[in-house]
Structure 1
């Protein structure tokens, strides 16, 4: 698909490619299709002039947007492997990841260098032209260069003789997912698995013509632009996002669940189809989005190792009455099965090839407990690592949390709080929607809590649930600590009727 995108950008260079919103929500052209192609050519020539060749690794710390997409296209053209770096991960983590990936060059914009702080010593070393940078590689600035940044990448390099890799397969991208400073872990996608994932997203979005798509990830940008649709980057501030949705009226919108909740809180109106993923999306949240104007609202189940794996529309999710969280049938080409311990395994053309430094493995161990229902749909039952052990009973929160997502509830999680005797107490932490009265919610939750049987929580706590990571998922460890502080050593019993 990236080959097709490169051709599509050059066929209609005058058309808008990436849009941003003004303060009033009106769209502003951030880059045309021709400008993206031109920038990609300049990056490819500069990297080739520096001696980088197919198979080499380039670290990328560039904010999502036109420049990052142009870098991706340049890496793809040359057959280079991009290691995606998160400047917010902290200096020690970044150094460990760089040492594992061993990039020949790190590309970073000024904002990434300012946030990270790690680039300054690396840039100083690069200017000294030391022969060995401890495996971390030199740094080059892309975009506007500010004082203290590394030297700029030379975009005036000659473009003659720059190769095009073509259909040859090989590593395309490294994405770090977890691990410590001593043992970082990274997903390696090949050119074929990356292309298969983008094609799968393209079949979901089905973007066409000149109607805009709203979303900021590569898996949204690439399929939409390939089919000719401009892509608008979502405004960060909720009210600005609401104005953007109103002015743009996008045919497809992709936002994370926290972005959707923030937009709904300011009474944003949606249009066309809305997609969400990266964090759990309840049936109640999807129905609220549809109630706010969306024609259809979809939850996408995806992992860094396989994007996307399954999708479910709000009506189907709302009609599901069994225990657990229905995330939909596996998408075409995706194989799914539980192992002997109930952990979900996935495989398919879009699956990662391996973890960096490990042997290839066809099956992805998701860390999710799941079952396949009679229709072959995936029903999640909770994270394996989130299991709570109470009175010698294994309780998987994901099996019961969907039942707590009733009207008036923004988020709900079940966490274990140490009881001091090696046992745990189960606490339901509920974040009400703005304006929801806690006494009424407590009464409405009594039925779902009672139906949890032996997994019924020991306490119910109303609180704002901490979020973590770029996708702003519920931080269970922080939530458990919050519950322990708020409730103390003796948990109040959950009232029942």
Structure 2
């Protein structure tokens, strides 16, 4: 797919590739297809001139957009391995991750570097933090505009035939070679990183392309709204311009109205914020990276979308399954229906009920560990009679109450009644008198939609709560649920702390 994109960008260089929105939502061309191809050429030449060769690792701390995509295209062409660095991880975590990845060079834009220097007070408000780049143990080069205090700029080389993959020359094509490292979890002392090979990365993008129908000639040229790498590459490869979603919900709503994208990919928090700002949709809407309830998908359809899809995906295997709003809403069993495994994906529960996945798009291994064929998702799940995946909650989120194991994900979907924005079940220490050590109270934390009245929500929740049997929560609290991480998933630890504080205050 990346090889195809590299050639496709040059076929119609005058066409728009990446779009952004102004405050009024009006579309601006951030980069044409030709400009994106030229920038990838320049990065490849510059990296090659610095002596980087196939198999070397390059750390990448560049904000999403044309520049980041051009860097990744250049790395792909040269056979380099990219280690994706998140400035929001904090300096200690980043140092540990860099020590594990061992990059020969770190590419960082001015914004990423500024948070470690003169802009640290501003960066702390944005929850960004990089260590002093001079202490990383690897040379650093600035890409894009260089500001005071930044590392020397990466010299952008001119296109020349000596650069591998340049022009019509083939790029490095060893499918077993590492392509990208993505850090997902782990402690400061022991970071955890997913390693995708060129083959698994290509298979994942091909799967996304098939799911989106990106190759449909009738849809070529229609804009796509989304900012993830897996959305950008297939869309651009098949001729569609991609618009980066506006950060402000109000501007995003105006952007959707003006752009009228054929396909929209937003995370569940982005969808909730956009709906709250009165957004209207067109065509198909896709969401993932965090749980998406049937209620949320139905709201998206009610706001004009022809179809609303929830995509079940992991960093280790993207995508794994998908389900449309109407199918999800029709499901009445326990748990969270996420759809049938996509073509090429094999799914099975292990002896403890944890979901295992395998397929061509699955990661090769975790950095520093041996390859393994099955991805252990950490999700409890089952396959229903139609062969569809039904999630029953994260194993680590289990709540122990009166010697009974309760998995929140099995019951949380039922709490998303009309008027509920988000709902989670969390365990808090039961305190004195608990029947056994570690016994917990089960609390439902419910976030209402704007304008939803609490008495009406309590009445609407009475039925679902009554059907939860022995898993019925000990308390129901209404509050805004804390979110965490770049994907803004519910922060269960913070939610449990909030619930415990609220209950202490009501005693």
TM-score bin (small chain):
over 0.9
Name the residue aligned to 1:139: 140
**Which of 239, 242, 259 matches 2:250?**
239
1:275-331 per-residue CA deviation (whole Å, 9 max, x = no partner) reads: 000000000000000000000000000000000000000000000010000000000
Give the superposed CA RMSD.
1.3
Q: Secondary structure at the match of 1:279?
A: coil
Contact persistence 1:200–1:308 (CA under 8 A): yes
Separation (CA, whole Å) in 2 of partners of 1:157 and 1:23? 36
Aligned equivalent of 1:201, options 190, 203, 208: 208
Q: Which residue of 1 aligns with 2:84?
A: 84
| Change beyond 3 A, Cα 1:385–1:272 | same
Query: How many angstroms does 1:377 deviate by?
Result: 0.4
Tell me by how many angstroms 1:266 deviates.
1.3
Structure-to-structure mapping, 1:89-488, within 5 angstroms? 89-116=89-116, 121-123=132-134, 136-156=137-157, 159-164=160-165, 165-169=171-175, 170-207=177-214, 208-420=219-431, 421=434, 422=437, 423-488=439-504
Contact 1:119–1:149 (CA<8 Å) still a contact in 2?
Answer: no
State how far apart, in whole Å, the 2-side matches of 1:166 and 1:224 are.
23
Measured in 1, the distance between the counterparts of 2:400 and 2:311 equals: 30
Moved more, 204-213 or 109-118: 109-118
383-392 vs 158-167, which moves further: 158-167
Contact 2:90 2:130 in 1 (8 A): no
In the TM superposition, what is the alpha-carbon distance from 1:489 to its structure 2 partner? 8.5
Could you tell me how far apart the structure 1 residues matched to 2:220 and 2:105 are? Answer: 38
The CA deviation string for residues 196-234 of structure 1, in whole angstroms up to 9 with x for no partner, is: 000111111123321100000000000000000000000
Secondary structure of 1:330 counterpart: coil
- SS of the aligned residue for 1:154 comes to coil
TM-aligned CA deviation for residue 483 of structure 1: 0.4
Question: Within 1, Cα distance between the matches of 2:144 and 2:201?
Answer: 26
For 1:60 and 1:149, the matched residues in 2 are separated by: 15
SS in 2 for 1:488: helix
Gaps of 5+ in 2: 118-128, 166-170
Shift of 1:152: 0.4
Q: Report if the CA contact (8 A) 1:120-1:149 is conserved.
A: no
Runs of 4+ in 1 over 4 A off after TM superposition: 116-120
SS in 1 for 2:340: strand
Is the 1:90–1:116 Cα contact (8 Å) retained in structure 2? Answer: no
1:262 match: secondary structure: helix
How far off is 1:119 after superposition?
A: 6.2
SS at match of 1:25: coil
Matching residue of 1:129? none
| Equivalence for 1:495 | none
| Native 8 Å contact 2:116 2:133 kept in 1 | no
- Say if 2:90 and 2:131, in contact at 8 Å, map to a contact too: no
Query: Quick check: 1:87–1:116 contact (8 Å CA) kept in 2?
Result: no
**Distance in 1 between the 2:406 and 2:442 partners?**
9
TM-score, length-normalised on structure 2? 0.93
> Could you list the per-position Cα deviations for residues 15-64 of structure 1 after superposition, in whole angstroms to 9, with x for gaps in the alignment?
00000012221111000000000000000000000000000000000011
Q: 1:490 Cα deviation (Å)?
A: 8.1
**Contact 2:293/2:416 (CA < 8 Å) preserved in 1?**
yes
Q: C-alpha displacement at 1:157, in angstroms?
A: 5.3
